[in-house]
A and B are shown apart, each in its own frame.
Chain A
Amino acid sequence: MDTDTIKIVRMLAENVDFFYGSTHALKNINLNIFKNKVTAIIGPSGCGKSTFIRLLNRMNDLIPRSRLAGNIMLDGENINEPNTDVVDIRRRVGMVFQKPNPFPKSIFQNVSYGMEVNGIRDKNVITEKVIESLKKAALWNEVMNRLDESALCLSGGQQQRLCIARCLAVEPEVLLFDEPCASLDPVSTKKIEELILGLKKEYTIVIVTHNMQQAGRVSDYTAFMYLGELIEFGHTEKLFTVPKDKRTEDYITGKFG
């Protein structure tokens, strides 16, 4: 028996198809996301990576005329059942988006927002958590003296780390990162990668990345997607050294197209 199957599955996609209107964006995706592991999703632009991870916290509910078929499970429960609480799902499955999207509020308020909407009132608890989250997201040193300034005054990379801090502050169980380092310099990227490796102990992480080295450095499993299909999924080492599919090989060796 493959060792994968005895690992604990945190999230699972089962025969997932997704449509934007008549665009068939995801085609029969079957994928396991293992607990306390980092799963990287790679693939060329437009292959459906963002679409897929946005399904994991029901973010695509907000898109008009979109349609989902198949099951997405979180800890054995179908997250799209009519009686599941979508607000609860989204709190448990946190997300950092491809483009930084800080609120037009202060740096502090950006991080405290998630706690406030989840009913945490204690000022001390909030302040401590804000500081802790900013530290974890490797942003604290840069903003400690200007927590009351608008988040929109931060640089793009700082904004993205703020979004990461904001996400961590609500202590989700699963973290979805959609190209979190796309607008970061190598130093911040390294910090984020270290953060991801550190968070692995407590969280289950899915990361979309265009950077093969990054996928290699941070992930335990890698999924390669192409034109809306999941072409290959497996241990990162195996997938990068002995890809089973020709398309995977071409992509990771940069011979694509």
Chain B
Amino acid sequence: MNKKIVQGLGFAVLYLCLAATLFFLGTIIYFILVKGIKIINWGFLTEVPRRAMTEGGIAPAIIGTFYLTLGSIIFSLPLGLACAIYLCEYSPTGYIVNIIRLSINNLAGVPSVVFGLFGLAVFVKYFGFGVSILSGSLTLGILILPGIISAANEALLAVPQSLREASFALGATRWQTIKKVVLPSAMSGILTGVILGIGRAAGETAPILFTAATFYTRGFPKSPMSEVMALPYHIYALMTEGTHPDKQTAIAYGCSLILLLLVLSVSGLAIYLRQKQRGHAYGH
């Protein structure tokens, strides 16, 4: 066969895969959009639910999801980054490091409902944080920790060794090198990890099921110790409880659309930041 034909076929397959992926993504967005858009108006975004969830808005759930996600990042980013820095920049390669890496990878494979149970046992009960934003954030934080660590780890590994050498050769300490050369270069990769983490934390239901979420609150959360409504859990609750399935389903689609937009816009923001940061490195 002519190698040009082979190449053509290769590209055709790649385009097909791309098209299929875009098709699925497009259908999901379209489906949610069509079903959800009808119910969305200003009131839906800013009001509290009324009449046993069949009317009113979902503002407390939006706020709740925001707090939970923010809390999980505040908790997992410093910890994950510190962990990745230790693994990449300080620890000698060896037995213990391999065990740590293995554990992190295994942690990533634990089903999210198990994290939920863990959060219930440890944060809610043992530490006595109760069903609260704090407990939920910590549980979500642990859930996304492996992802943050491995993204940060990869970003750090991708920083060329020659840059570290350049810094050391000028009399910089290890910490100065990390702070001034390695981290800035790895920032875009780390941000990617954070984006993925945000997306995951915002969308998970099981980890907050027993640790943070509740079907209904009067008004908005007052402190980190309050229990909250959250979008994914609200969708779940609307679809499984209550007495007006048709009205509730409509609201659930509205929630889904909001959740989707939230996650997409966070990703968009992070991609923008990343691009800007990358451009900065090249002086554009």
Tell me the total A-B contact number using a CB cutoff of 8 A: 83
Closest residue to B176 on the A side, CB-wise? A117
Q: Are A62 and B170 in contact (CB under 8 A)?
A: no
B136 to chain A, nearest CB (A): 38
Q: Flag whether A91 is at the interface (Cβ < 8 A).
A: yes
CB of B106 within 8 A of chain A? no
For residue B166, which residues in chain A have a CB less than 8 angstroms away from its CB?
97, 101-103, 163, 166
Q: Are A117 and B163 in contact (CB under 8 A)?
A: no
B283 and A152 form a contact (CB under 8 A): yes
Residues 155-189 of chain A, each 1 if its beta carbon lies under 8 Å from chain B, else 0? 00000000100110010000000000000000000
Measured CB to CB, the closest approach of chain A to B91, in angstroms, equals 11
Q: Is B54 at the interface (CB under 8 A from chain A)?
A: no
Contacts of A104 in B (CB 8 A): 163, 184-185, 281-282
Instruction: Give the chain A neighbours of B109 by CB distance below 8 A.
Output: none
Residues of A within 8 A of B169 (CB): 57, 59, 90, 94-95, 97, 167
CA distance A62 to B169 in the complex (A): 11
In the complex, per-residue mask of B156-200: 1 if CB is within 8 Å of any chain A CB, else 0: 000011111111111111001000110011000000000000000
> Which residue of chain B lies nearest to A113 when distances are taken between CB atoms in the complex?
B170
- Contact status A153-B282, CB under 8 Å: yes
Report A72 CB to chain B, min CB distance, Å.
16
Question: What is the minimal beta-carbon distance from A14 to any residue of chain B, in angstroms?
Answer: 23
Is A114 on the interface with B (CB-CB < 8 A)?
yes
Residues of the B chain whose Cβ atoms lie less than 8 Å from the Cβ of A99: 162
Which residue of A is nearest B172, CB measured?
A117
Select from chain B the residue with minimum beta-carbon distance to A101.
B162
Within 8 Å by CB of B165, from A62, A116, A150, A170, lies: A62
State whether B170 touches A90 (Cβ < 8 A): yes
Most buried by B among A59, A104, A116, A153: A104
Contact with B along A95-125 (1 / 0, CB 8 A): 1010101111110000001101110000000
Q: Mark A44-80, 1 if CB is under 8 A from B, else 0.
A: 0000000000000101001010000000000000000
Q: Compute how far the CA of A62 lies from the CA of B164 in the bound complex, rounded to whole angstroms.
A: 10
Please report the C-alpha to C-alpha distance between residue A160 and residue B160 in the assembled complex, in whole angstroms: 17
Query: Is B93 interfacial (CB 8 A cutoff)?
Result: yes
A149-B283 in contact given A97-B165, A117-B176 (Cβ < 8 Å): yes
Contact of A101 among B93, B165, B284 (CB under 8 A): B165
The residue in A64, A94, A117, A163 that gathers the most chain B C-beta atoms within 10 A of its C-beta is A117
Given the complex of chains A and B, what is the CA–CA distance between A152 and B165 in angstroms? 17
Q: In the bound complex, do residue B283 and residue A150 qualify as a contact, i.e. CB atoms below 8 Å apart?
A: yes
Bound state CA distance, A200 and B195, in angstroms? 53
Q: Whole-angstrom distance from the CB of A101 to the nearest CB of chain B?
A: 4
**Inter-subunit contact A170/B171 (CB<8 Å):** yes
Interface residue from B168, B181, B184 paired with A90 (Cβ < 8 Å) = B168
When C-beta atoms are compared, the residue in chain B nearest to A61 turns out to be B168
Is there contact, CB below 8 Å, between B161 and A114? no
Taking CB as reference atom, which chain B residue is nearest A54? B165
A202 beta carbon closer than 8 Å to chain B: no
Interface residues of B in 79-98 (CB under 8 A from A): 92-93
CA distance A99 to B166 in the complex (A): 11
* Interchain CA distance A116-B167 in the complex, whole Å: 11
A144 at the interface (CB under 8 A from B): no
**Cβ contacts under 8 Å, A91 to chain B:** 170-171
Write the A179-221 contact mask toward B (1 if CB under 8 angstroms, else 0).
0000000000000000000000000000000000000000000
- A166 CB, nearest partner CB in chain B, Å: 7
User: Is A87 an interface residue when CB atoms closer than 8 A count as contact?
Assistant: yes
Task: Decide: B171 and A117 in contact? CB cutoff 8 A.
Answer: yes
Q: In the complex, which of the residues B167, B170, B282 contacts A94, with contact meaning CB atoms closer than 8 Å?
A: B170
A166 contacts B170, CB within 8 Å? yes
A229 to B41, CA, bound (A): 80
Q: Bound complex: CA of A56 vs CA of B102, how far in Å?
A: 37
**Given A97-B162, A114-B171, 10 new contacts (CB under 8 A):** A90-B171, A94-B169, A97-B166, A101-B162, A106-B283, A113-B180, A117-B167, A117-B176, A149-B283, A170-B170
Binding site for B on A (CB under 8 A): 57, 59, 62, 64, 87-88, 90-92, 94-95, 97, 99, 101-106, 113-114, 116-118, 148-150, 152-153, 163, 166-167, 170
A–B pairs, 28, beta carbons within 8 Å? A59-B165, A59-B168, A59-B169, A64-B93, A90-B168, A90-B169, A90-B170, A90-B171, A91-B171, A95-B169, A97-B165, A97-B169, A101-B162, A101-B165, A103-B167, A104-B163, A104-B184, A104-B185, A114-B172, A117-B171, A117-B172, A118-B171, A150-B280, A150-B283, A153-B283, A166-B166, A167-B170, A170-B171
Q: 7 tightest CB-CB pairs across the interface, nearest first?
A: A150-B283, A91-B171, A114-B170, A101-B162, A117-B172, A104-B281, A95-B169
